[in-house]
Structure 1
Amino acid sequence: MTTVDIPANALHANATAVLTDWRPADAGQQALRHAFLGFLAARADACQRSCAPGHLTASAVVLDATGDRVLLTLHPRVGRWLQLGGHCEPEDATLAEAALREATEESGMSGLVIDPHPVHLDVHPITCSLGVPTRHFDVRFVVRAPAGAEPVRSAESTDLRWWPLTALPPDTDDLAPLLAAVASAG
C-alpha cells in the first residue's frame, strides 16, 4: 500500500480550524480549547510526534450501533482500559481522519463512521515513543460501528472489548468526563 505524505501544515491548519470553530458547552473544555489553540499558534510542529514539548493526538470513542456499548482497549504500556486513538501520521490531512484511522487500525473493524466535530479535549503527561516525558493534547471524536461489528485485537492492545456504558471496567473513572460529553452530544 502506498501512503501519501500530506504537508504537515495541512493537518496543523485543519486542527486550528476545527478547534477555532468548535464550541464546547463546558467552561473547562472551553479553557482547554483556548490552550490547544495557543499551543498550535506557538508551534508549527504541534501535530507531529517529534514535537518534544507535546503534540496533538486523535482519539475515538467507538460506540456500537445501539450507542449502548463503548469499545475500550487495555493499553499494554499504560496497563489501563482506554478509548482508541494515538499519534497523527504524515498521511493524515485532518484530525478526524487520524482518529478514524486509529479506530480502524486498533479495532480491526471496517465501516466505522466518525462525527467530524470533536466531543472532548484532554491534555495529559506521558512518556510515549520519544522516550522522554511529554504531553498529549488529545482531541477526541465519536465513532459509530455498524450493526454486528466485532472488534479484532491488534498488537497495540492487551485486550479489546465492548463494555456497557453503565458497567465499565474498574479504574476507568477518568473516562467519566469523556463519556458524559459523548452522552450530552447525543
Structure 2
Amino acid sequence: MHRLPLLNLLRQHSTTDRDEQAMTQAMISFVEANPKAFERSLLAGHVTGSAWIVSPDRQQILLIHHRKLDRWLQPGGHADGDPDVAAVALREAREETGLTSLQLVSSAIFDVDIHPIPARGDVPEHLHYDIRFLLEADPNEPFGDSDEIKNIRWFSSEMIDNYTDSESICRMIRKI
C-alpha cells in the first residue's frame, strides 16, 4: 500500500496546536479513504508537499509570491502520484526557487495544513492536504527563474507579518 509511509508519518506527527491536530486527524482519514489521494485528478482534494525553507541559523525564511494565488507562500506543489511527499516538497522547492543547496532537515513532518484552493478555469474549488517539511538552504545562493512565481525572497520572521497574515505561515514561524 503506497499510502502507508505517509500514514505512518502522520500518526507520528505531534503538535500542540489544536487546529493542526484536527487537520492531522482529518488528513489521516482522507488518505485512508482515498486510494488516489496523491492524484490531482481527485477533484475534491489531494495531497501536496511543501517546503518550509530556513537559513542554517534559522534567522531567515524563504517565501515565494505565487503567481496564480497572488500570495506569499512557502514553495510546494502537487504530488502527481508520488507518495514520497518529502521528495515532492524537495522537488517543488528546487523547481520554484532554483536553489541547489536545499537540504531536508528531517524526514519527519514539520507541519500539516488543509486549505481550500479557489476554482480556476475548469478546475473546481478543492482542498490541498498539504504536508510540510523543514528544509535548509544557503541564503547567499542566487535564485533561479520560475514561471510559477512573481517574486522570491528571504525574510526575517518579523518582516513576514508585513506580507502575509496567514495563520498557517504564522504557525510555522512559531515552530522555528
TM-score, normalised to structure 2, is: 0.89
Tell me the equivalent position of 2:143. Answer: 151
Tell me the equivalent position of 2:59. Answer: 68
**Structure 1: any 5+ residue segments left out of the alignment?**
1-8
Question: Does residue 34 of the first structure (1) align with residue 25 of the second (2)?
Answer: yes
Using the TM superposition, give the Cα deviation of residue 134 of structure 1 relative to its aligned residue in structure 2, in angstroms. Answer: 0.7
Structure-1 separation of matches of 2:102 and 2:136: 6
Using the TM superposition, give the Cα deviation of residue 93 of structure 1 relative to its aligned residue in structure 2, in angstroms. Answer: 4.4
The number of residues matched between the two structures is 172
CA gap 1:54/1:141 in 2 versus in 1, 3 angstroms: same
Runs of 4+ in 1 over 6 A off after TM superposition: none
Using the TM superposition, give the Cα deviation of residue 65 of structure 1 relative to its aligned residue in structure 2, in angstroms. Answer: 2.6
Tell me the equivalent position of 1:101. Answer: 91
Cα RMSD (Å): 1.9
3-state secondary structure, aligned to 2:172:
helix
Identity %: 30
CA gap 1:38/1:46 in 2 versus in 1, 3 angstroms: same
Question: Does residue 87 of the first structure (1) align with residue 78 of the second (2)?
Answer: yes
Tell me the equivalent position of 1:3. Answer: none
Q: How does 1:1-186 map to 2 (within 5 A)?
A: 9-10=1-2, 12-90=3-81, 92-114=82-104, 115-126=106-117, 127=119, 131-146=123-138, 148-168=140-160, 170-174=162-166, 175-181=169-175, 183=176
**Structure 2: any 5+ residue segments left out of the alignment?**
none
Structure-1 separation of matches of 2:172 and 2:46: 20
Structure-1 separation of matches of 2:123 and 2:79: 17
